[in-house]
Amino acid sequence: MLLAAPSDSAARVPIVPIDRVDVADLPRSAGSPFFARLRAAAGQVSLRAPDPRQATRWHPHAIGGVRWRLAQPLTFTPYASVQPCSARCGFCSENLRKADGGVPASLLRPDHGYFDGLARALRALRGVPLSWSLSGLETSDDAGWMLRLLDTLAAAEAGDGPLVKDRVLYSNGAGFAKPDGSGLRRALRDFGLSWLELSRHHHDGAANQAIMRFRPGLAIADQAVFERTAQQLASAMPLRMVCILQRDGIARPPDVAAYLSWARERCGAGTVVFREFSRLDGSYRENATARYLQAQRVPMDALLAACLDDDDVSRGWTVESLTEGYYFWNLRLRTADGLAVIFESSDYGAMHARHASGDIYKLVYFADGKLCAGWESGRDVLLDTRSSREHADA
């Protein structure tokens, strides 16, 4: 999973005039003077984070005999960790460590009962409106696992599982560049994928490899292979290219302009997303990943302001919407030639505060069989399907 905010649902959310938005309720990253400029430019904001007092924005549901309030919109992630990721990005949030954390989710591996447990978790969510958000490590690295995952999710939709709105995959593309990549593309098309978010953090192949550090022998590291793979994906489903801003990558307005041209012309993208490293609170240990974030951070406010003030970059751009999520904000623009561009900033401190509220804003199913209300396995556990299986088998 990339260290970034998820633009992972097209669900309808209230559109509210800017003067009715309580800035104190926004993520910390949205409290800057520059955000006030964005609010003025947009004129209105889409509120993805539900008002606790607005009953229609919450879905009451019992899980494991306990009744909860589930935020709407809501996403469910079957966390992919069948093997180590094909890329070794220095900023990857899966390598952050909480001071009070247990076994990292990235180190858990699914056993033979994983998909039975996932099916049980999905039955426990019968009737819950949500969207699939497929991420974790790299889902496409193991084609067999990915295909079985899609079959399990599709069976839940057709049977006694949740009510699914959107289906989104986050990927570095590695599995799609392998010989069986065409089979994965067909499976996603049949699955009804709403869009695919494809990571590439520089438009130059060598610069990107220095950032993503794909493991030896992987075809996706090659620039021509990546571009061909992206075009194939774009022909099969809506494609969003995702670029994480960093000092040794995309960091200045000319970089943004060059990346946009490349993504549209060479990759067939219909949308490009630029994301800032998520802002951390004090709950994380100082390790190599945290130090990377500190050294390589490109502040979103400064870069976006510079882009908007540079006529050579932003000429013809129009503001479409400003969205406030439960721990992120994003600004959606459109270029003169029709490319959608999204700039996002997020705040893990705000995310942790929401997760500690007693309401559910996120659902994640981990390889150890636990359904959790957040990104930490063993924390905020809603259902342990291994315990359920053991009880059922007794």
For residues 297 and 284, give the distance between their C-alpha atoms in angstroms, rounded to a whole number: 16
Nearest to 374 by CA among 363, 385, 358: 363
The domain tally of the chain equals 1
Q: Is 69 among the domain residues?
A: yes
For residue 267, give every residue at least 6 positions away whose Cβ sits within 8 Å of its Cβ, in sequence order, or none: 198, 200, 226, 227, 230, 231, 234, 239, 241
Question: Is the pLDDT assigned to residue 24 strictly greater than 80?
Answer: no
- Report residue 13 as tokens: 């959310």
Q: Is 292 among the domain residues?
A: no
Q: Is 388 among the domain residues?
A: yes
- Report residue 153 as tokens: 């999710």
Q: Is 33 among the domain residues?
A: no
pLDDT for the residue 367: 98
pTM for this predicted structure? 0.90
Residue-wise pLDDT for 182-223, tens only, equals: 999 999 999 999 999 999 999 999 999 999 999 999 999 999
Q: Is 199 among the domain residues?
A: no
Residue-wise pLDDT for 101-135, tens only, equals: 788 999 999 999 999 999 999 999 999 999 999 99
For residues 368 and 384, give the distance between their C-alpha atoms in angstroms, rounded to a whole number: 8
What residue type is assigned to position 159 of the chain? Answer: G
Q: Is 23 among the domain residues?
A: no
Residue 243 bridge partners (DSSP): 274
Q: Is 105 among the domain residues?
A: yes
Long-range contacts of the stretch 31-35 (C-beta < 8 A, 24+):
32/301, 34/301, 34/304, 34/305, 35/301, 35/329
Residue 60 bridge partners (DSSP): 69
For residues 200 and 212, give the distance between their C-alpha atoms in angstroms, rounded to a whole number: 8
- Report residue 285 as tokens: 């240990």
Containing structural domain, residue 73:
48-169+356-394
Q: What are the start-end ranges of the E strands in 172-327?
A: 195-199, 239-244, 271-275, 318-324
Backbone angles phi, psi at 291, to 5 degrees: -70, -35
Q: How far apart, in Å, are the Cα atoms of 24 and each of 33, 41, 67? A: 13, 20, 29
3-state secondary structure of 350: helix
pLDDT for the residue 13: 44
Q: State the pLDDT confidence band at 19, using cuts at 50, 70 and 90.
A: very low
Q: State the pLDDT confidence band at 388, using cuts at 50, 70 and 90.
A: low
For residues 39 and 60, give the distance between their C-alpha atoms in angstroms, rounded to a whole number: 32
Q: What are the start-end ranges of the E strands in the chain?
A: 15-17, 44-47, 58-63, 66-71, 75-78, 129-134, 163-171, 195-199, 239-244, 271-275, 318-324, 328-334, 340-346, 363-365, 370-372, 381-384
For residues 120 and 161, give the distance between their C-alpha atoms in angstroms, rounded to a whole number: 9
Helix 300-309 × helix 253-265 angle, to 10°? 80
Q: State the pLDDT confidence band at 23, using cuts at 50, 70 and 90.
A: very low
Q: Is 338 among the domain residues?
A: no
Residue-wise pLDDT for 28-39, tens only, equals: 445 566 767 777
Residue-wise pLDDT for 46-78, tens only, equals: 888 888 889 999 999 999 999 999 999 999 999
Three-state SS sequence of 67-110: EEEEECCCEEEECECCCCCCCCCCCCHHHCCECCCCCCHHHCCC
Backbone angles phi, psi at 118, to 5 degrees: -60, -45
